[in-house]
Amino acid sequence: MMDPQETILLEEKIAELEGRMRKIQDEKLKLQSDIDFLTREKEILMRALDDFKQIESTMEEVRIKNIQLESQLASMISSQKHTEKAVNKMNTSKPKGFKA
C-alpha cells in the first residue's frame, strides 16, 4: 500500500494532467473551429475567383465584339461617304444631250 503522502502527490499529478487535457481539448476545439472558418472562407474566395475569371472572360468577349463593331462602323461610314460622293456627282453632272 502507498503511503498517504504519495497518494496525495499522485492525485495532485492526476488532477494537473486532467487540467492539461481539458486545456488541450479546448485548444483542439478552437483550432477545429478556426479550420472550419478558414475552410468556409476558402470556399467563398474560390467562388469569387471563379466569378472573377468569368467576368474577365466576358470582358474579353465584349472587347473583341467592340473591335468588330468599330470595324463594321468604320466600313459603313466609308461606304456612306462613297455613296454620298457618287450621289453628289450624279446631281451635279449634266445628262448627255441636255442643253441648258
Contact 10, 2 (CB under 8 A): yes
Residue 84 lies in a domain: no
Asked, for residue 83, whether it belongs to a domain, the answer is no
pLDDT tens-place values along the chain, 100 residues long:
779 999 999 999 999 999 999 999 999 999 999 999 999 999 999 999 999 999 999 999 999 999 999 999 999 999 999 999 989 888 887 666 655 5
- What number of residues does the chain have? 100
Range of the domain at 67: 1-74
Q: How many whole angstroms separate alpha carbon 88 and alpha carbon 86?
A: 5
Is 65 part of a structural domain of the chain?
yes
Residue 95 maps to a domain: no
The reply to whether 93 falls in a domain is no
Determine, yes or no, domain membership for 25. Answer: yes
Q: Quick one: which H or E segment has residue 26?
A: helix 4-92
Asked whether the whole model's pTM tops 0.75, one would answer no
| Count of domains observed in the chain | 1
Is residue 34 situated within a structural domain?
A: yes
